[in-house]
Amino acid sequence: MGESKTGADSIALDVSHLTKIYRLYDRPSDRLRESLGIVKKKLSRDLYALQDVSFTVRRGETVGIIGTNGSGKSTILKIITGVLSPTSGNVTVNGRISALLELGAGFNMEYTGIENVYLNGTMMGFSREEIDARLPEILRFADIGEFVNQPCKTYSSGMFVRLAFAVAINIDPEILIVDEALSVGDVFFQAKCYHKFEEFKSKGKTILFVSHDLGSISRYCDRVVVLNNGVKKAEGGPKEMVDLYKKLLVHIDESFPEEQEETADTKEDAEGVNVPSAEQGAAAGSAPETSAPSGEIAGKFVKNPNTVEYGNGLASITEVRIFDENGLENYTVRKGAEFRILMKVAFHAELESPIVAFTIKNLQGLELAGTNTMIERASVERVHPGESYAFTFRQKMDLQGGEYLFSFGCTGFHEGDFRVYHRLYDLINVTVFSEKNAVGIYDMNSAVTVQKA
């Protein structure tokens, strides 16, 4: 791992062909026998936590890393910060890093809070004078009162992470690395953490951000890297990468279509199970367990050409319509008015309690609202092949005036496992027009009275 001091370089982080392999043994004695060369055969098996991962982060960028559990997100952050060493590959860092990973990992529990502030600051390369200058802001941010003069072993877990976070966030780093650390402490402290994060971003700091909170990823990140099983699957804009991540969550991987082979008779689904082709499925009275049918969907809307569509084909969304307060099919809705969403779904297999849903996003991909038949307790207990159902959602439009993207889906539990039957992300653009926009994303519908006191 190298560190460059050339400020003219526009690259803050360069991760090049990074691989991390762990050796797994069935018995502890096997490790010793193999290291001493007592046996000629290999007793270990390799687990790839990361495999040939490369990406760069430019100065001033906020880059997110998302992926399923065990995809290598935390491993890559630990290698970048020097906690772990890679098996192969290289990381180049241009700038001082502050990492919000394992908060308080460098604290000595016998020391007081103040002593740990100086200990951690010294470990980060600051002089005592520099720490003195930052100490008031650190203590104000942590807000643990006189406990700063007590040994850390007397702290509650909440007080401990508050102080650790305050130290890490207030040393004015050039590069901030965050791993699910913005949700520590109580709700008021979390608000302070997010405010500080936004302050860093507004100052043009470089941020590498790992989170399962897709709303935060969509809101803050300029670019997103998707990892899966230690492999970089894709890199791009937040909206597209979040959509890909949602596919990976349900074991649908279309990022490398050239690797997916089909024969004339069978196809292999995302979990490696041979299933009938479309022709065989039709003959058998059920749809194939592959991608969802991409037929025309009834409705007077203009279909988004960038709609993301997938599913196993056991059900198909055949019609989507939005009706305004006057009962007319209309994709411009007045703020404050009631409107209806009609979805028709055709079922191609016997399914128990299918879940039909819609969500609303802004143009940045942040999910703002939505619901489904399970939440609303309006599920159909069982459907049969060839049946179709119409689902109508009625609600009031309280979002602010603007442009929104509507997504639709049909999912459920089939043979004990969660399955996506058909999803259509960002299918329709709906315009909300308003004579009065309040603050934020929706209207509280406040009623104000004024009287002389």
pLDDT band of residue 335 (cuts 50, 70, 90) is very high
Whether the pLDDT of residue 284 is over 70: the answer is: no
Whether the pLDDT of residue 224 is over 80: the answer is: yes
pLDDT band of residue 320 (cuts 50, 70, 90) is very high
pLDDT band of residue 268 (cuts 50, 70, 90) is very low
The pLDDT of residue 219: 84
Q: Of the given ranges (6-15, 107-116, 289-298, 310-319), which has the lowest mean pLDDT?
A: 289-298
Rounded CA-CA distance 239/257 in Å is 20
pLDDT in tens, 348-402: 999 999 999 999 999 888 899 999 999 999 989 999 999 999 999 999 999 999 9
274-433: which CATH architecture?
A: Distorted Sandwich (2.70)
More confident residue, 179 or 54: 54
pLDDT band of residue 1 (cuts 50, 70, 90) is low
Overall average pLDDT of the 256-278 stretch: 33
The pLDDT of residue 97: 86
Percent of the chain with pLDDT over 90: 53
The pLDDT of residue 73: 93
Overall average pLDDT of the 332-351 stretch: 96
Q: Of the given ranges (51-60, 118-127, 145-154), which has the lowest mean pLDDT?
A: 118-127
The pLDDT of residue 188: 77
The pLDDT of residue 181: 67
More confident residue, 435 or 39: 435
More confident residue, 386 or 35: 386
The pLDDT of residue 183: 66
The pLDDT of residue 68: 87
Whether the pLDDT of residue 37 is over 80: the answer is: no
Q: Of the given ranges (38-47, 80-89, 250-259, 395-404), which has the lowest mean pLDDT?
A: 250-259
Q: Of the given ranges (150-159, 227-236, 267-276, 444-453), which has the lowest mean pLDDT?
A: 267-276
Overall average pLDDT of the 183-210 stretch: 83
Question: Across the chain, what does the average pLDDT equal?
Answer: 84
Whether the pLDDT of residue 256 is over 70: the answer is: no
Highest mean pLDDT among 7-21, 47-61, 273-287: 47-61
The domain spans of the chain are 2-242, 274-433
Question: Phi and psi of 318, rounded to 5°?
Answer: -105, -20
pLDDT band of residue 289 (cuts 50, 70, 90) is very low
pLDDT band of residue 288 (cuts 50, 70, 90) is very low
The pLDDT of residue 253: 64
The pLDDT of residue 121: 85
More confident residue, 70 or 17: 17
The pLDDT of residue 285: 36
Overall average pLDDT of the 28-54 stretch: 83
Overall average pLDDT of the 318-328 stretch: 96
Q: Of the given ranges (210-214, 248-252, 286-290, 418-422), which has the lowest mean pLDDT?
A: 286-290
pLDDT band of residue 254 (cuts 50, 70, 90) is low
More confident residue, 204 or 287: 204
> In this structure, which CATH number among 3.40.630.30, 3.40.50.300, 3.40.50.360, 3.90.1170.10 belongs to the domain 2-242?
3.40.50.300
pLDDT in tens, 157-179: 888 888 988 888 887 788 999 88
SS3 string, the chain, reads CEECCCCCCCEEEEEEEEEEEEEEECCHHHHHHHHCCCCCCCCEEEEEEEEEEEEEEECCCEEEEEECCCCCHHHHHHHHCCCCCCCEEEEEECCCEEEECCCCCCCCCCCEHHHHHHHHHHHCCCCHHHHHHHHHHHHHHHCCHHHHHCEHHHCCHHHHHHHHHHHHHCCCCCEEEEECCCCCCCHHHHHHHHHHHHHHHHCCCEEEEECCCHHHHHHHCCEEEEEECCEEEEEECHHHHHHHHHHHHCCCCCCCHHHCCCCCCEEECCCCCEEECHHHHHHHCCCCCCCCCCCCCECCCCCCCCCEEECCCCEEEEEEEEECCCCCECCEEECCCEEEEEEEEEECCCEECCEEEEEEECCCCCEEEEEECCCCCCCCCEECCCCEEEEEEEEECCECCEEEEEEEEEEEEECCEEEEEEEEEEEEEEEEECCCCCCCCECCCCCCCCCCC
